[in-house]
Amino acid sequence: MYLPILVLGFYSFNQSPYSATWQGFTLDWYTKLLSDDRILSALKNSLIVAMFAVSVSAVIGTLMAVGLARYQFFGKKLYRGIAYLPLIIPDIAIAVATLVFLAAFAIPLSLWTIVAAHIVFCIAYIGLVVSSRLTNLDPHLEEAALDLGATPVQAFIQVLLPQLMPGIVAGCLLAFVLSLDDFLISSFTAGSGYNTLPIEIFSRIKTGVKPDINALSVLLIVASAMVAVIAESIRALGDKRE
């Protein structure tokens, strides 16, 4: 399973401009990325999209998870099913549906339409992680805070939110990785001149895979893996403290 990734990493150090032949070890392709304006611009766009999408999703996803876990209301089961649909719907379906929606309301494609599309699935992932964290918490702590005179808002901020923080952070890091790596939804909702990093990589491999693309892919894989490990470590650490 990991053999293709190892091969990719191996050829990212290849001195030859063609991946099929090995001509010696070099770090030039990695240093070349630092002076590539298109790559840097695409990276900037990807980071902007991921940060804004995760920031909005963190608030909505956390409130959604708490509401579904702590309160009863009409249509709760239906809402729960709809809220987590992005987890099981294929990305191509979400991409097409989002593009049709934007076209129907004549919303011009831009960097912010990518952000809006990413919020849709980021909310579901953050909500899922926070929900799993909620199952391990004692609901009587909030009731005790209310009995001691705290308002519902105070009980949420001072009692529940600190306990949820490991799950929120882990969910945000997971959503950040998914947003940073997304290609399909971004390609359908990106406006002209607003390439993200995965879109830029795809546009370059149409003419063949070059070592600089190998190097960029390796960096992207390493960064994603590190964030995923940190997210899982934070989530596991939070569970152990219970």
How many CA atoms does the CB half-sphere of 191 hold within 13 Å?
Answer: 13
pLDDT of 240 reads: 61
Is the pLDDT confidence value at 18 over 80? no
pLDDT-derived band at 241 (thresholds 50, 70, 90) equals low
Q: In the structure encoding, which two tokens stand for residue 128, read together?
A: 């899922």
Say if residues 66 and 135 touch (Cβ distance below 8 Å). no
Predicted TM-score of the model (pTM): 0.84
Could you tell me which residues are beta bridge partners of residue 25? 14
Rounded CA gap, 171 and 221, in Å?
19
Say if residues 128 and 69 touch (Cβ distance below 8 Å). no
Contacts of 210 (CB under 8 A, 6+ apart): 17, 18, 19, 204
pLDDT-derived band at 27 (thresholds 50, 70, 90) equals confident
pLDDT-derived band at 238 (thresholds 50, 70, 90) equals low
pLDDT of 47 reads: 92
> Within 10 Å of residue 166's Cβ, how many Cβ atoms?
23
Choose between 57 and 150: higher pLDDT: 57
Write the single-letter amino acid at 101. F
Secondary-structure class of domain 33-70+77-240 per CATH? mainly alpha
pLDDT-derived band at 188 (thresholds 50, 70, 90) equals very high
Contacts of 38 (CB under 8 A, 6+ apart): 195, 200
Is the pLDDT confidence value at 114 over 60? yes
pLDDT in tens, 191-222: 888 889 889 888 887 766 677 788 888 888 88
pLDDT in tens, 88-106: 888 999 999 999 999 999 9
Rounded CA gap, 231 and 16, in Å?
37
pLDDT-derived band at 81 (thresholds 50, 70, 90) equals confident
Indicate the DSSP class of residue 86: G
Contacts of 69 (CB under 8 A, 6+ apart): 131, 134, 135
Is the pLDDT confidence value at 242 over 60? no
pLDDT-derived band at 60 (thresholds 50, 70, 90) equals very high
Indicate the DSSP class of residue 211: H
pLDDT-derived band at 45 (thresholds 50, 70, 90) equals very high
